[in-house]
Each structure stands twice: as structure tokens, then as C-alpha cells.
Amino acid sequence: MRVLILGGDGYLGWPTAMDFAAAGHEVTVADNYLRRRIAEATDSEALLPAPSLTERAQIFAAASGQAIAVRIGDLSDPDFMFELFKETDPETVIHYAEQPSAPYSMRGFREARETFQNNLDVTFNCIWAVKDIVPNAHIIKLGTMGEYGTPNIDIEEGWLEVEHKGRKDTFLYPRAAGSLYHTTKVLDTDLLWFYVRTHGLRVTDLMQGPVYGVSTDEADLDPRLCPNFHYDDIFGTVVNRFLVQAVAGVPLTVYGGGGQTRGYLNLRDTLQCVRLAADQPAQPGELRIFNQLTETFTVNELADRVQQAGQQMGIDVAIKSIANPRKEKEEHYYNPVHSGLTELGLEPHYLSETVLGGMLERIIENRHRIDINRIMPRVSWS
């Protein structure tokens, strides 16, 4: 396939590009380095230094013999987006190109406005580029389980059948996002659903839980191909952050009571899910939604697992509850359905002690790069 990856410099975007290229697809990545600029501005840079996209593509080509084409530009600019689509003529469009941090989106007016404008403009431009230039292309959009919130009923895969006064219909599952970032993802879903209904686009929306991991088959070819492994409070997902805290000797920071439950998955499984969605595309006029997770944990359970993995390696790991900077339920029901991707062929990698130990070893090798001032929460929802 001709594959266009929007946001190809990201934690997920770059490993996805390598994965598709290694499978023999014709891959182009586009990015404007927004996440890099935000990380630098907020002192939230990744643990491992990342070469530029162009340099990454050159390193990957030397290591694998596979090419990845790179385009640097602002995807919120429709002219750049439309020219990119005309040049690449994609059959599959993978859309990661959004400001991905909930804390950053809640930092203040400027950050909220930047998140809102970037995320919605890029999605809108992508939709119109597909509609007008490559109407048969398949859009794979990265959504988030955070769109749903924490309802007191089971979370279905995107849709809910409702019976009301003796009549039935099916609607998008109700959304109740907990941050401005997650709210932009809700709006993405609504935009996609409108254009699917109106113009017959084919779209797969992947409602992904928090991702952990630093290793993929392609990233392991050369340490410079490593994904952007963040451990800070702005971009670091909780498992990655806890592991760095364990190595740095900083007590694992459980927000509030620690009963917050979410669905998690290994970075390798993100790649599996996206490939499965691309290989078995949605039909014209279909908005197909999958809940992309493999396991659910409370924050307390994650902290316990990291503590145990650290102890197996001779690391004394403490756990400490701190005031919750977020506005969220700390004890709640959480039961998301996530069978769709398994039915397509997903073979999960679970959060084992071996997986955690491998990540700890990689972090220990780079412990001299850890800045503990980036760990504690610097953004409050209230």
C-alpha cells in the first residue's frame, strides 16, 4: 500500500512508519515537530535523544534497506495537507497528528487554544483531502478511550443501542471526556461520523488506552531509532513514568486514591492493531470503531507491579500517594468491551514482569539522562 502517516515523528507515529516500511509498504511521514517544540518549551524532553525525522529515515534505511519518505510541514495548513495528498496519492492514511497531552491542554488558555486549533484543523483538513483527492482511501484515526470517561455501565465498542419509548436505534456511545485534549478527540469522532454519513468515507477510529514500552523489532535495530520515551508529567504515560521514577529513586506518584482504572497496551500491540486495521479496511460509508486495549489496571495495581519488578532487580521502590492534580473519579466502575481487534487477529503482549524488567534495563542504561524535576505534576485541572 501507499501509506501516509500524519504525525510521523511521535511516540506512535515513528514506530508505525518503520513497521509498515519493514512490511514492504510505500511509506511517507509528515510532521511539523509540534510535540518536540512543546516538550522543549515545558522542559519535558524525552529520556532518549531522537534524531530529526530525516536523520531517522536515513538511519532506518541503512539498518533495514527500507525507505521512508519525509515531509516537514504544518498539517493544520490546508495548502500543505492538500499538496501532500496530491504528491503521495495514499491508499491508507494514518492520522496521529495531534497535540497528545491532556496536562498540556489544561495548562492555560494559550495551550488549550493551541491544542484545540491544531487537533481540529488537522482532522478537518485530512477529511477534506481524502474527500476531494483520494475518496477511496481508508482513514485510520487514533482516538482515545479517554473519550468515554468512566461511565457506570459497560463501555461498548463505539456504539450503543438505545431503546426509548418502545423504539430502538443505535448511536455513538456517549462521550464524557476528562480534559480539553480528550474533548478534541470526541469532536474528531463527530467530524468523522458526519463526513462518513454525508460523503461515504471509509474510517477506522481506534479508541486507544495509555501505551507503554520502548522496544519494537525495528527500533531495536539501532538505539537511535527508539521512540520518544517521555517520563515527565506532560507527555509521560503512567507506566513509563513509574519505571523512570523507580530507577531514579523517586517514590511512585499515585494521584489521589489510586483507584483510577484504565485500559493499557504494549507499544508492540499498537503496531499490530494499526496494521490489522489497514490490512482489513473499513467499507465505504462505514465508521468502524475499536476499543484498543489489552488489559485494565488501577493506578495502584500498576504501582505494585513496577515495585515488584524493581525489587526483582535489586531496586528499592517506594510508593507515595499525592494530591490528585486532575478532576476525575478515583473509584469507579470500568468494563470496556475490546473484542473487535482480537477478532481481526490481535495477539497481545501482556504487562509481565519480563516486559517491565526489559524496560527497566533500558532506563538504567540511560539513568544519567533523568531529570527528576520533570516528574512531579506541574499542571492542575482546578
Residues classed as catalytic? 144, 181, 185
Return the C-alpha cell found at 282: 473499513
Return the C-alpha cell found at 149: 470517561
Other CB atoms within 10 Å distance of the CB of residue 339: 11
Judging by beta carbons within 10 Å of its beta carbon (0-12, 13-18, 19+), is residue 64 exposed, middle or buried? Answer: middle
What whole-number distance in Å separates Cα of residue 229 and Cα of residue 286? 34
- Cα angle at 166 between 162 and 172, to 5 degrees? 15
Phi then psi for residue 342, to 5 deg, are -60, -40
Query: Which one, of 172, 145, 146, lies nearest residue 288 by Cα?
Result: 172
What whole-number distance in Å separates Cα of residue 313 and Cα of residue 173? 43
- For the chain, the C-alpha Rg in angstroms (whole number) is 20
Local structure of 230: helix, strand or coil: coil
Give me the amino acid identity at 380.
Answer: S
